[in-house]
Structure 1
Amino acid sequence: MGKPTGFLEQDRQNATDRDPILRLGDWNEVHEEMPENEIKAQAARCMDCGVPFCHAGDSQHFTGIAGCPVNNLIPEWNHLVYKGRWKDAFGRLMKTNNFPEFTGRVCPAPCESSCVLGINQKPVTIKHHEVSIIDRAFEMGWVEAKPPAKRTGKKVAVVGSGPAGLACADQLNQAGHTVVVYERADRPGGLLMYGIPNMKLEKDVVLRRIKLLEDEGIQFRCGVEIGKDITATRLKDDYDSVVICTGATKPRDLPVPGRELKGVHFAMEFLGANTKSLLDSKHADGNYISAKGKNVVVIGGGDTGTDCVGTSLRHECESVIQLEIMPRPSEERAPGNEWPQYARVLKVDYGQEEAIAKQGEDPRQYLVMTKEFLGDADGNLRALKTVEVEWKKNPEGRFIPAEVPGSEKEVPAQLALLAMGFLGPEQTIIEQLGVETDERSNAKAAYGKYATSVDGIFAAGDARRGQSLIVWAINEGRGAARAVDMHLMGETTLPL
C-alpha cells in the first residue's frame, strides 16, 4: 500500500470531459487525460484491502456482478502508479487483461462498484487508471509484438473478431497455434468497430491492437461470412478446432402496428452504418441513416440507446428523446442491490449530458411504452403513439407493465431507433454445425469448459452467455482458448 492515509486525504476526482456542446462538432473521444500528478493522487486512495473485492468477478450475470471478471490485479497496479512505476504497472495489468485500452474506455466498471472504499466514500477511479497505464505504454513503446517462439502445427478458426474472439485468438496464438479469425464485416473488431461509436472508442485504438495481433502472427479474413461464403462444416473440416465468438447480434424487435414504416430502424443499423460511412468517407458518401433535422425517438435506455442519442445529436437532429419502459433508477443503491454488486443507480452518460446541454433537459422518459408507429401517406414515420405504464403483479405473481388509462399521446418522430437489447446469436453457424443450444438460443457450453455438443467446436462470449459486458467477453475468450489448448495438446499453460 503506497500511502496508508491516501483515502483519508484525497477525495475522488474524475478525469474531465470535453465541453458537451463543443464535442458535438466532431467524432473524437469525449474524455480528456488527467495530469500525472492527479492520477498518482487518485491511485493513492486505493486501500490495498485485506479482501480486495474489486478484482474478483464472481458472477456470470450482469445484475449480480461483484468485481472484475478478468480478475485485474487492481491494488497492485494502483500502488505502482502511485509510485510512478508505470512500466511495472503495465506489466502487471497485462497479466490478466489482453485489451485494457478497450475496457478502460467502454467497460461500465463493476470493479468500482465493489471497491471497499465505496462502502462509505466514493470508490477509487480504477477505470481511468487502467486506460492511463495502457495509453502510456503505447506512447512509450513498451507494447511490442511478441510472436511465439515456435508453432504447434495445430490450426484454429475463430469466428467473430469482437472482444471474445480477439482475446481467444490472442491466447491461442501465444500458445503457438496457427489462428485465423473470420469476420463478415469489412474491418475487424466486431462490436468494437461497428457497435461502439467513435466518441467512446476511436477506431485507431482498435486498429492499433489489430495491427499488433497481426504482427504476432494472427490472420484476419474480413468480408467472409461463415455459413454463407464458407459453410461452417467446411470450416470444421479444415481446422483442428473452431471457436464460435459471433456475439449476440439478433436484436429485440418491437412488433407493433406501423413497424414496417420508413424511418423505423434497429439501433445497430443506425450506429454501424454511421461508423462505416465516417471511416470510409467522413460521411461524404451518404451511406448512413441521417438524423439531421429530424425528431428522433430512441426506444431503450441502455448504453446502445445512449450511443444513438449522442450520434443523433452529432447529425444535428431537431430533437431527441429516449423512452424507457422501466422505472427511473434510484440515485442510491436500492434494497437488493447492496455492495459489492454492480450499482444499478441513475447515471448521466455522455449522450444524456450532451442532450441536456443542447436541449435543456434529460432526454430520458421512464415508464413509457410504444403502442404504434404512425405514418404519412407515403409510408414515412411521422409519430409514435405511446402510453404510460406502471408495473403490477399478474395472477402468476410476475411483474408486468399495465397501461395507465388516459395517458396515450402522440410523439412527433421521423426517425425511431430500437435499442432494446439482443435476443441471442444468429443461428446459421450453430445450425450448420449441429451445435446444441440452450433455452435462450445460445450455443450450449458450460462456463469454464466452453466445449459444445460437437467435438472440437467451442463457444465463448455473448454467443454462449447472451448479451453481456466486454470484460465477460474477454474473460470467456481467454477461458475458451485454455480449453481449446487442452483439447488439442492434452495439457495447457495458458492462464485462467
Structure 2
Amino acid sequence: MDINAPGMSYLEPDIGAEFVPPIPAHPRERIVALCRHCTNRLIGRGNLLPYEYWSFASVATDEMADVLLQMKMRHPYTLSEAVRETGLDEEPLERLLDEMSYIGLLEYNWENPTRTKQWVLPMLVPGSAEFLNMRLSQIDEHPIVAKFFEQSSKGPLSRATPMVPPGGAGIGMHVIPVERAIETENRSVSVEHIEHWLDKYEGKYAASPCSCRMSRNKLGEGCGDDPRDWCIAVGDMADYIVETDRGRYIDRDEVMAILKRAEDNGFVHQITNIDGENKIFAICNCNVNVCYALRTSQLFNTPNLSRSAYVARVDARDCVACGRCVEVCPAGAVKLGQKLCLASTGAAPDYPKQELPDAVKWGPERWSPDYRNRNRIETYDTGTAPCKTACPAHIAVQGYLKLAAQGRYREALALIKRENPLPAVCGRICNRACEDACTRGGVDAAIAIDEVKKFIAQQDLDACARFIPPTVAPTTGEGFEERVAIVGAGPAGLSCAYYLAEKGYHPVVFERSERPGGMLTYGVPSYKLEKDVIAAEVDVIREMGAEIRCGVEVGRDVSLADLRAQGFKAFYLAIGCQAGRSAGIAGEDAEGVSTAVAFLRSVSSGELDALSGRTVVVGGGNVAIDVARSAARLGSASVSMLCLESAEEMPASDEEVACARADGVEIACGWGPAEILTDGDRVRGVRFKRCTRVFDDEGRFAPVYDEAETKELECDRVVLSIGQAIEWGDLLADSAVKLGRGQGPLCDPKTYQTDEPDIFVGGDVHTGPKFAIDAIAAGHEAAISIHRFVQHATLTIGRNPRVYRELDKARADVGEYDRSTRQAPAIDGERERSEPFREYVRTLSEEQVRIETARCLGCGASVVDENKCIGCGLCTTKCDFDAIHLHREHPEASRMVKYEKKLPTLLKYAIKREIKIRFGAKAK
C-alpha cells in the first residue's frame, strides 16, 4: 500500500519509507480494529496505512488490543472500572495495563479526589505516538514507530490548520515565552509565565528524552542535538515518565538550567494545551528543525497553531542589524532590512508580510514544505547593511561598532567572535571587503572597520582580559565525547576547532610545523602580524578545550587509519597550499631561485635574517608584496617586483603597493618571466617579455606576450610568487577522497564532505589561496557539518544558508550624519627604522575609536513580520541593544481549553471565515 495514500499525500518529503513494509494480505484483525479505534476517527479517513498498522502490530499483542478497544480515548479508568469494562480479572489486568503503560500505549495518573491510579488511552499526539518514541531502545527495536509519530503529528492538522482563529489557542501544544521577555509585561496572565507552572507543580518534575529529536534521528533527519532531558514532565506525568523508564526526577534548579541551556541554543519553550484550564503535563524545549509541534505552524504556514499571546517588534532606532535575532528566530519571522530611507520617496522600504488563511482559501499550494530551509533566509530583497553582506564570515560589523561607541568593548569582542575567532589577526591583515562595501565610502571615506576591530581585539592579547566564549552545546550534559581530528592549524583548522569546542567537543588539531597558525605564522611578515598576536588567539582556542599537537604530520607520523583506530570519528583536512608554484621556464632550478612560500617561511622561522645583493620578485599579488618588502627590510641592495598585470589589473591592493614603494621596492607591470639567467648553477638575472594581455574575453587566465619586446634584470636571487600548490604527502594514502584540478579535493560545496564520509575539507586546500577571513568562514561551516555527522544527523536540512543581500546604496538617502573624517592609526617611524620586523602601525586610541564609530551610518535594521512571529521571545534574549521586545497582542492564544472543547470554537470560526472567503466581507 502506498505510504502516501489518498488524503495523506503531503508536499513535505516522505521520510523514513524504508521502515514501512506493506500491510500483509491477511493482517491481524485486532490490530486493524485498534488502528481504526485510535487513529482513523481522529484523522477522518477510512483507509488503513502501513505505518500505523505496523507500529501497533510491533508493540501490541492481541490481548492488549482487546483491552484498548474497550477503552474510550482520553477517559481515565481506575482498576475497578477497567475490570468492569473488560471483564478480566484484576491481577492480570493490572499487569497488562502497566505493561501497556511501559510500552507507551497507555499513560496513567492519580488526578481524582481519592488519588487512585487511573489509566488513560491518550491521543496520538501529544500522547501515545510520542510515548512510543521516548525510549531509544524501543525505537531501535521497532523503528516503524518513528514513522508513525512523524505522520501522526502531521496528518490530522492538514485539515484543521485554516480553522484556527487569529490569536490561536493551540490545538495540542503552544509556545510559552521566555520568562525574562515578559517579566515586566503588566498585562500578562499567570499561565503565560513558565514560573507559574513551576510553582504549580513544585517538587514534581522529571526530565525525559525528546521524542521528536530521537524519531527524526532514526528517520535520518536529526539536527545533531543530544536528545536527552529536553522535555520536562510535571505533576503526575513526571511520575509516569520515571516509573516507565522514560526519564528521571529533577529539582527546580536543574529545570532552570535546562531552560537556560535551551534558550542559549535557540530552542522554543512549548507547553501542552489539551487538558483544560490551568493544567499542563509538560514543558518542551523545541528545535524547529526537528520538532513536530512547531512543524504544524511552519509547514502549514499558520502560526496561529503555535503562537503565544505575544509578537515581537523592533525599535529601528536602537537596532544595529547584528542579525542575532534573525539567526535565532524559529519561525523565520525576523529578517534583515535597511534603516535608511529611499531617496525617491523619503520613506522606509515596504516589507512583505506572510499571508494568513483568515480570508482566503488555504491548501497545499500555500504550505512551506521546505520550511526548515526557507525559514533560515536572512535578508529581505531590499537588502541590508553592506558591511555584513560583503564579509565572507558575515560578521555583525554595525553591531560591534555600536558597542564600541558605547564603550562596551568586551561585549563587542564577544559579538565579533560569534563569527570570527581570530579578530586580532584579522584586525591586522584582513582584506577589508566590509570597508570596500561600506555605504559611508560613497559619502567621503569608508569606516575604518578593521582598525576598530583591532582596538577591540587588543583585549585578547592580555591573558587577564581575554574573552573565552562559553560552551553553547545542544545537550543538557557537559558536552560531546566524540573525538574529532583536524589536520592543519591554519585559520580554517583553528576556526573549525574553535566552533567545535564552543559546541562542547574537545577536538585535536595536528600541525606538522613547530608552531600553529599555518600561513599566518609562516607566511605573513611580523611587521604586519606579530607572532604573539597569533599565539594569544590560539591560546583562547586551547582554553576552550581544543588540543593542538605541533610537530606531527598526519600521513607520516600517524595515519588516518591509526587515528580511526584511536577512536576519532571525523576528520577536517585544512592543510592549506604549502608549496609554491614554479614558472615552467629554463633556469628556475638554479641556486638562488625560490618560491614565495619557501622564502617567507625562512624569514618567519628566523632561518633568514639578513640579505645582500639584488632581489627580483616575480608576481603581482599581496604575497609578492610581502616578499618584496621583507627582502628590502632584510637589507637587499635593490628589490624589483615585476608582474603580468597592468597597474589597474594588479591583484595587490593599492595600500600594499604604496607600502612596498615606501620601502623602496621598484614595481614594473606588464612583464612575464621568459628565462632565469644563470652563471653555472647560480642565478645571475632574469629575462622578461612584454605581456600584452592577461585574461581572455571570458575572464580566464590566458596571457598573451609580445616575444619581441624583452628586458633583462641582473640579480642575486629570484623569488617566484606566481601561485601556491598543495602537498598531500601520504595523508590520503588508501583514502577514497578524490582529487580534482590542481590536486584540490572534491567535496560537497555546502557541507565540505568528501567521498570518504568521515573526511571533510576546507580552507585554501579546497578553494585555492584566499584570505584568512574566507578560511575562517569555511572552518565555521565545517564545524557544523562535522557536529551533525558525528551525531548521525542530516548534514543539510535546517542549515542557515548565509545568503545576505546588500542594500541599493544608489537608492538610499543617508540623511544626517556625523561629519568627522576617517581616523588613521599612528605610525611609529622610529620603531620601523630600528626594528623593521616589529609591528609599527599603532592601534587607534580610545578617542579615535569614539570618533570613528560615530561615523557609521547605521544602514541596517531587523524587521519582524508579525504574521509569522510565534511570540517565543528568543529574539529578545539575543539582542545586546534592547531593540526588540514582545508585545501582548493575542491574548486568546493563552486560553487553556480541554481538547474535546476546542472543536466548537474551531467550527464557529470556520463558518465566519467561509463567509469572508465567499462574500469578501467581514462576518458579524
- What TM-score does the superposition give when structure 1 sets the normalisation length? 0.77
Partner of 1:458: 760
CA-to-aligned-CA distance 1:181-212 (integer Å, 9 cap, x gap): 00000111111111111111100011112222
Partner of 2:671: 368
Alpha-carbon separation, structure 2, partners of 1:397 and 1:487:
38
Partner of 2:411: 88
How far did 1:151 drift? 3.6
Does the CA contact (< 8 Å) of 2:522 and 2:604 recur in 1?
yes
Alpha-carbon separation, structure 2, partners of 1:215 and 1:396:
49
Alpha-carbon separation, structure 2, partners of 1:85 and 1:145:
16
Aligned in 2, Cα 1:394/1:159: closer, same or farther, shift over 3 Å?
Answer: closer
How far did 1:460 drift? 1.4
How far did 1:120 drift? 4.5
One-letter code aligned to 1:478: H
Q: 408, 415, 422: which one pairs with 2:710?
A: 408
Q: 618, 631, 634: which one pairs with 1:299?
A: 618
Alpha-carbon separation, structure 2, partners of 1:458 and 1:292:
41
How far did 1:485 drift? 0.5
CA-to-aligned-CA distance 1:46-104 (integer Å, 9 cap, x gap): xxx97202112xxxxxxxxxx00111111111122223222332222222211111111
- 1:6-155 to structure 2, matched below 5 A, reads 51-56=384-389, 67-136=390-459, 138-139=461-462, 141-145=464-468, 148=471, 150-155=478-483
- 1:329 alignment partner, SS class: coil
Alpha-carbon separation, structure 1, partners of 2:466 and 2:799:
20
Q: Are residue 327 (structure 1) and residue 646 (structure 2) matched?
A: yes
Partner of 1:356: 661
Alpha-carbon separation, structure 2, partners of 1:476 and 1:293:
41
Partner of 2:572: 243
Alpha-carbon separation, structure 1, partners of 2:695 and 2:635:
42
How far did 1:365 drift? 0.8
How far did 1:143 drift? 2.0
One-letter code aligned to 2:578: T
Partner of 1:273: 602
Q: Are residue 233 (structure 1) and residue 561 (structure 2) matched?
A: yes
Alpha-carbon separation, structure 1, partners of 2:766 and 2:414:
30
Alpha-carbon separation, structure 1, partners of 2:759 and 2:695:
43
Partner of 1:36: none
One-letter code aligned to 1:484: I
Alpha-carbon separation, structure 2, partners of 1:357 and 1:392:
27
Q: Are residue 174 (structure 1) and residue 502 (structure 2) matched?
A: yes
How far did 1:171 drift? 1.1
Q: Are residue 164 (structure 1) and residue 492 (structure 2) matched?
A: yes
Identity, % of aligned positions: 26
Does the CA contact (< 8 Å) of 2:392 and 2:774 recur in 1?
yes
**Number of residues of Structure 1 aligned to a counterpart in Structure 2:** 416
Aligned in 2, Cα 1:2/1:427: closer, same or farther, shift over 3 Å?
Answer: same
Alpha-carbon separation, structure 2, partners of 1:394 and 1:90:
44
Tell me which moved more, 429-438 or 367-376: 429-438
Alpha-carbon separation, structure 1, partners of 2:652 and 2:459:
32
Alpha-carbon separation, structure 2, partners of 1:372 and 1:231:
41
Alpha-carbon separation, structure 1, partners of 2:537 and 2:699:
49
Alpha-carbon separation, structure 1, partners of 2:535 and 2:600:
18
Alpha-carbon separation, structure 1, partners of 2:564 and 2:770:
27
Partner of 2:154: none
How far did 1:399 drift? 6.9
Aligned in 2, Cα 1:494/1:147: closer, same or farther, shift over 3 Å?
Answer: farther
Alpha-carbon separation, structure 2, partners of 1:111 and 1:355:
23
Alpha-carbon separation, structure 1, partners of 2:660 and 2:425:
25
Tell me which moved more, 453-462 or 82-91: 82-91
Does the CA contact (< 8 Å) of 2:620 and 2:652 recur in 1?
no
CA-to-aligned-CA distance 1:363-386 (integer Å, 9 cap, x gap): 211110111111113x11111111
Partner of 1:185: 513
Alpha-carbon separation, structure 2, partners of 1:345 and 1:221:
34
How far did 1:147 drift? 7.1
How far did 1:121 drift? 3.0
Partner of 2:630: 311
Aligned in 2, Cα 1:373/1:455: closer, same or farther, shift over 3 Å?
Answer: same
- 2:494 alignment partner, SS class: helix
Aligned in 2, Cα 1:208/1:472: closer, same or farther, shift over 3 Å?
Answer: same
Structure 1 unaligned runs (5+)?
8-48, 57-66, 278-286, 332-343
- 1:407 alignment partner, SS class: strand
Partner of 1:217: 545
Q: Are residue 489 (structure 1) and residue 784 (structure 2) matched?
A: no
How far did 1:439 drift? 3.2
Alpha-carbon separation, structure 2, partners of 1:402 and 1:438:
26
Does the CA contact (< 8 Å) of 2:620 and 2:642 recur in 1?
yes
- 1:429 alignment partner, SS class: coil
One-letter code aligned to 1:347: D
CA-to-aligned-CA distance 1:438-463 (integer Å, 9 cap, x gap): 33421112232111110211111112
- 1:430 alignment partner, SS class: coil
Aligned in 2, Cα 1:426/1:325: closer, same or farther, shift over 3 Å?
Answer: farther
Does the CA contact (< 8 Å) of 2:620 and 2:643 recur in 1?
yes
Does the CA contact (< 8 Å) of 1:425 and 1:462 recur in 2?
no
Partner of 1:341: none
Alpha-carbon separation, structure 1, partners of 2:736 and 2:662:
52
CA-to-aligned-CA distance 1:141-176 (integer Å, 9 cap, x gap): 442446758242211100000000001011112222
- 1:372-451 to structure 2, matched below 5 A, reads 372-377=675-680, 379-391=681-693, 400-424=702-726, 426=728, 428-451=730-753
Aligned in 2, Cα 1:82/1:50: closer, same or farther, shift over 3 Å?
Answer: farther
Does the CA contact (< 8 Å) of 1:157 and 1:179 recur in 2?
yes
Aligned in 2, Cα 1:473/1:398: closer, same or farther, shift over 3 Å?
Answer: closer
How far did 1:354 drift? 5.1
Aligned in 2, Cα 1:291/1:417: closer, same or farther, shift over 3 Å?
Answer: farther
Q: Are residue 253 (structure 1) and residue 560 (structure 2) matched?
A: no
Cα RMSD after superposing both structures = 3.0
CA-to-aligned-CA distance 1:288-315 (integer Å, 9 cap, x gap): 3x66221100111111111111111121
Partner of 1:11: none
